[in-house]
Amino acid sequence: MGLMGGLTAALYAALLVYLGGWFFNRWIGDFALLLFLLTLVTLAYWLAERLHFKPAREAAAAALEAQHGARRAELARQGIAQVDGNIEQAKGRLLMQPWWLDWTAGLFPVILVVFLLRSFLYEPFKIPSGSMLPTLESGDLILVNKFGYGIRLPVIDRKIIATGEPARGDVVVFRYPPDPRIDYIKRVVGLPGDEVAWLNKTLTINGKPVETAALPDYYDEDSQRYTQQLRENLGGIEHRILLRSDRPGFVSGAETYPRREACRYSAEGVVCKVPAGHYFVMGDNRDNSIDSRYWGFVPDRNLKGRAFFVWMNFGNLGRIGAFR
């Protein structure tokens, strides 16, 4: 196999172990870091191919052709015109890219394009639960706009160019504050400086109740039950929310989190003053969502982008389309 073939096989084995452990929940994977490392590794192979391996193969093929030409000339000098042998097949073998370059350097352009698109333009995300029902269903595959809230460096997510801020009502994907290795999706309810109140299942922002209107009950096929459904107007963005009459209005099980002193919990619910540089988020499935009411505020540095489009749901193709 050779040294480079063995090294490449070892790298692929390590990749399979990492992906396997991630798939079987042995550890939490970091796809952004993995894609960054794959880009660097395939770039190294691509440069080695362009600067060393390909020129070496071409030089070997040229040397073979020169030797063949010299042999033909010598035979012709001796009066032998008919020469057996065809060197084209041998040259083809010399010029052929070995498998370990084909599966590394050959993949670099594709991986680079994916890395740039995912890092700076759009990132795919799979809805893992029903906390955003009825807007988003479990199994929806969505796109996240990565540049709307600022251009950030890949992997470390440090903002380097400000391009905009989240608006009240935006559906956002962010790194979960208690464990930044995990991505969450919720709707922005409170902006920096807002006072957000969730009391007796009524949402109030800066002293004004958020406008709602009754809709026909929503039937959840997974739970096989009907749930109260409302149309909510949040910052001019209309969307649907769900409430369960059998769930209490107070918040049970709130964690200890940074800036918890900005929130006041009572038997009716919770009131929070959103700190500067932070956001208060909630799921549209209000009684089945663990969100800012339980674990606190989302720092601006944790934001990944605004979710805006369902590009696939293998169980229901009718889900494809834009949403708010």
| CB-side neighbour CA atoms (13 Å) of 190 | 35
Q: Give the active site residue among 91, 146, 186, 304.
A: 186
Q: Give the CA count within 13 Å in the CB-facing half-sphere of 115.
A: 21
**Residue 180 φ then ψ, to 5°:** -60, -5
Nearest CA to 169 out of 235, 97, 110 is that of 235
Our answer to whether residue 304 is catalytic in this structure is: no
**How many Å apart are CA 30 and CA 118, to the nearest integer?**
13
Tokens of 318: 């009718």
For the question of residue 186 being annotated catalytic, the response is yes
User: Scanning the structure block, which residue is given the tokens 């550890």?
Assistant: 27
| 56 C-beta neighbours (distance < 10 Å), count | 11
Give me 123's structure tokens.
Answer: 């990132």
- Residue reference for tokens 């709707």: 187
Active-site residue, selected from the candidate residues 91, 119, 131, 292: 131
Tokens 């909510």 sit at which residue?
A: 232
Active site residues: 131, 186
